[in-house]
Structure 1
Amino acid sequence: MIREALEYLIGLGNTRIENVGNRIFSTQKIYAVEEPTPATIQVHSLSGLFDYLQSKFDGDYPLMVHIKSPTEVIAFTSINRDSNRDEFIKASAMLPSFSFDRWYDTEDFNIKLQSCFVKNEDRDIMLKVVGNIKEEAVSTIGDNGVSQSVVAKTGVATVANVVVPNPVVLKPYRTFVEVDQPESEFIFRMQSGPKCALFEADGGAWKLQAMKNIKAYLERQLETEIQSRKLVIIA
């Protein structure tokens, strides 16, 4: 029945289909009419994602939630007859901007430390060092290849050599703010100017931890949907 219908439609344009061996050929190119898929809803938080999933706004479909990266999560259906999926919603994290492997002057670096990193002990130590560096003495920086020392204010009217902490353990905002930010090691370096830079030193292991944190968060929030076996979460 389907073959006859195709032959009829093709015949309207004077197109023929032929069997050659075990293959089918046509004299003109024809195109399959694919099943339509919905436009993807874009949100910028995990809260928006699970609010949508709990609402069942577009129906009570079985869904898979895929944590693609520390900053992107999507929810989609199983494949349709054309092997396409309905990707209902995508959450993309909105994060403050900080460039690793880039040199900042001390004022900008001070601001970035306070606005792009979660408060912890090493961040506070770095703020003290960066905020008190004597600009006229940066040429006296000492470096043994691992740690550095700079001339910095140590009191109201005194200066002294201060060791720059290295490596430092920090928690930059790198994933959705609803989950705990992964903690990892960084190399903190300074150069004349004075300028400061951070270099990642964990080989990207923080990404796996961030995705685990997202998965744990969504499993808590969507426990009912998971138990109903209509929702699967993968990372």
Structure 2
Amino acid sequence: MYSNESDASAIIAAARENQVVEIDGVSYGTGNFGRIKNIPSFETIELTSLEAFANFITEEPQAVLDEPIVVINENHVVRLLNTPKQENLKRDNLATVRNSLESFNFNHYMSIEDMIIQLQTKFIITDTVKRLLTILSSVSTTQDISIKDNGTSQSTNIKRGISAASLEEVELPNIVKLQPIRIFTECDQVESRFLFRIKQKDEIPYVSLMDVDPTEWKIKASKSILNKMRELGILLPIYY
């Protein structure tokens, strides 16, 4: 309840003074309202492949009337962004596509069985992968396994023939070149160098792939994504 009619009249008068006006495309409130923040015009479309991303750009002409750009971030998430708004210089995120595949867990030791599965499912099968699979499937998992490490290379026992008693010491590869599936499957996967290591814990062998090119591969991967988008007919400016 208002204390008197004069208080109510003052509030009504103040409300009348606060009007919304537009200047150069920016909304302002008169009186004490000040500048009015615009609500984003677009809801982000989430996509799952670069082909779907290209189709969205082709089939949604209204989305590309405002001279948008494509940005590939360091995690290789691809975004379609429109021209910055005048009032806040921010871009709307029109569409996003990200790789949902789980990549290999580098720099961690795992059992030989797990490594064999991972090599077969999360890497492009090359001669190097085949060689690693042959070695790993022949490594002795008996208690008499021996691992030698001179700082630059390693060697271990592998089985020859069907008898576990027939063991032979073999030098293991040190640096290997592999193509892990780390970006969209539509793209050419980047070949990188990895340090192959083996160790023993509680008389059980464990193996690991250490990433020695953690930065370089990201740059090459972004270029591979860019090349694929050009191949799909995306002619917008692309930045990474």
Fold match (TM-score > 0.5): yes
Tell me how far apart the structure 1 counterparts of residues 85 and 73 of structure 2 sit (CA, whole Å): 21
Structure-2 residue corresponding to 1:12: 15
Identify the match of residue 48 of structure 1 among 52, 70, 82: 52
* Residues 137 and 151 in structure 1, CA contact (< 8 A), matched pair in contact too: no
Q: 1:214 to 1:201 in 2, by over 3 A?
A: same
Report the AA paired with residue 208 of structure 2.
A
Distance 2:176 2:16 in 1: 71
Contact 1:133–1:152 at 8 Å: present in 2 too?
Answer: yes
SS in structure 1 opposite 2:79? strand
* Residue 186, structure 1, aligned to residue 194, structure 2: yes
Say what the alpha-carbon RMSD is for the aligned residues. 2.6
Structure of higher CA gyration radius: 2
Identity, % of aligned positions: 27
**Which digits, 9 at most, give the CA deviation of each residue in 1:108-166, with x for residues without a partner?**
11101111111112111111111111111564111111211111112233321111111
From 66, 71, 76, the counterpart of 2:71 = 66
| Structure 1: 5+ residue stretches without partners | 1-8, 16-25
1:132 aligns with 2:138: yes
CA-CA distance at 1:33 after TM superposition: 3.1
Pair 208,10 (structure 1): closer, same or farther in 2 beyond 3 Å: farther
Give the TM-score normalised by structure 2: 0.79
User: Which secondary structure does the structure 2 equivalent of 1:161 belong to?
Assistant: strand
Shift of 1:32: 1.9
Which whole-Å CA distance do the structure 2 matches of 1:13 and 1:169 have between them? Answer: 73
Q: Give the direction of change, closer, same or farther, for the CA distance of 1:84–1:191 in structure 2 (3 Å limit).
A: same
Give the Cα separation in 1 of the matches to 2:174 and 2:63: 53
For residues 70 and 215 of structure 1, the distance between their equivalents in structure 2, rounded to whole angstroms, comes to: 14
Q: Secondary structure at 2:42's aligned position in 1? A: coil
Change (3 A) 1:54 1:85: same
- The ranges of structure 1 where at least 4 consecutive aligned residues each deviate by more than 4 angstroms after the TM superposition are 26-31
Tell me how far 1:73 sits from its aligned partner.
Answer: 0.5
The change in CA–CA distance for 1:88 and 1:173 in structure 2 (over 3 A counts) is same
Letter in 1 for 2:46: Q
Residues 20-35 of structure 1 aligned to structure 2 (within 5 Å)? 32-35=36-39
Structure 1 CA distance for aligned equivalents of residues 189 and 75 of structure 2 = 10
Asked if the contact 2:195/2:212 (under 8 Å) is kept, the reply is yes
The secondary structure found in structure 2 opposite 1:42 is strand
Q: Tell me, yes or no, if the aligned pair for 2:64 and 2:82 is still in contact at 8 Å.
A: no
Indicate how the Cα distance of structure 1 residues 138 and 53 shifts in structure 2: closer, same or farther if over 3 A, else same.
farther
- Whether the aligned pair in 2 keeps the contact of 1:70 and 1:210 (CA below 8 Å) is no
Q: TM-score, normalised by structure 1?
A: 0.81
What corresponds to 1:199 in structure 2?
210
* Alpha-carbon shift at residue 216 of structure 1 (Å): 1.2
* Match of residue 92, structure 1, among 94, 98, 115: 98
Matches within 5 A, 1:156-167: 156-157=162-163, 158-167=166-175
**In structure 1, what is the Cα distance between the partners aligned to 2:61 and 2:148?**
62
Aligned residue pair count: 212
Moved more, 157-166 or 40-49: 157-166
Separation in 1 of the partners of 2:77 and 2:237? 16
2:154 and 2:33 map into 1 onto residues whose CA distance is: 69
